[in-house]
Amino acid sequence: MADTPAELVHYEVADQVATITLDSPHNRNALSRQLVTELLACLERADQDPDALVVLLKSSGRVFCSGADLSEASTTPMEEGARAMVRMQRSVAALSKPVVTVVLGAARAGGIGLVASSDIVIVADDATFALTEVKLGLAPAVISLTVFPRLTPRAASLTALGGEVFTGAQAADYGLATKAVPADQLDAAVAEMLAQLTTGALQGLRETKQVLNAPLLANIDAGADAMVALSARLFGSDEAREAMTAFLSRGK
C-alpha cells in the first residue's frame, strides 16, 4: 500500500485566529494539486470554525509561494489547474472572515494571486515578488483577476510586462501589500494587526468584508472563463513548453 502523502497545509486555531500554514519546502510551496486541495479545505474549515474570527495565512519557511507547480504541468490538464487557481483566489476573497497574509521571503506568479486575494497583507520590506510569466511565454492571466485590481495601473504594467523582482517595500507602494516592515519587526506587526482585528464583531467583520470585496468577486466571476481559457492556451503552446522545460532544467 502506498504511503499517505505528508500534509502540506497545516491548520490550528488559538485566540480567535485560525492559522493556515503552507509547508511544502521541497518545491518552495508551489501550487501543486495536493497543496491547493488542502488549502481549500483549510479555508473552508476556517470559514465554519466557531472559534475563529480572523484567518492568518503564512508559510513555514521564508518562501511564501513560488507559483504554479511547473513539474505538474505535463500531467495535470491545463484548464483544471487554472480553474483550481481561480477557486483558491475566490475562496480567500469570499471567506466570511478577514484573511491576513504574511510574506517574509519570496512570492512569485500564482503565489501573488494568493496575496492579492487577501484582505490585509503584511510583508518584510526586503521580501521579493515577481510576475515572471512573461519570461516563460505566459501571461498572469488567472491571477490578473485579483492582482490587477490591487495594483495601480502603472505598477501593473511595470511588474507584468517587466517580469522583474520588486521588494516588499515596493509592493506596499504599488498597492499589493498593506504594510511593509523590517523583517525583524514582522511578527510584532502581524500580532498587532491580529489583535486589532479580533476586537471586531463577527457580523461586523463578515458584512464589512462582503461590501469591500463585492467588486473584486464580481471581477473574478466575470473574467474567470476567459482567463482560464487564455491560461490553458498559453501553457499548451510550444513556446511556453520550451521555456518551461529550459527553466526546470536549470533547477530553479
Domain boundaries, the chain: 9-184
- At 123 the three-state DSSP class reads strand
Cβ neighbourhood burial of 35 (10 Å; 0-12, 13-18, 19+): buried
Exposure b/e, 164-200, CB count within 10 A at least 16 = b: eebbbbbbbebebbbbbbebeebeebbeebbeebeeb
Residue 184 pLDDT exceeds 50? yes
- Please provide the CATH number assigned to the domain covering 9-184: 3.90.226.10
- At 122 the three-state DSSP class reads strand
C-alpha cell at 109: 506568479
DSSP per residue, 48-105: H-TT-SEEEEEESSS--B--B-GGGTTTS-HHHHHHHHHHHHHHHHH-SS-EEEEESS
> Roughly what angle, to the nearest 10 degrees, separates helices 110-117 and 78-94?
20
The pTM is what? 0.94
At residue 77, the pLDDT reads 79
Distance CA 16, CA 54 (A): 7
**Confidence band (pLDDT; 50, 70, 90) for 252?**
very low
pLDDT digits (tens, 9 = 90+) for 74-128: 677 789 989 999 999 999 999 999 999 999 999 998 899 999 999 999 999 999 9
Contact 188, 179 (CB under 8 A): no
| DSSP class of 6 | P
- The residues, ordered by sequence, that sit 6+ positions from 198 with a Cβ below 8 Å of its Cβ are 15, 16, 17, 53, 54
Average pLDDT of the chain is 94
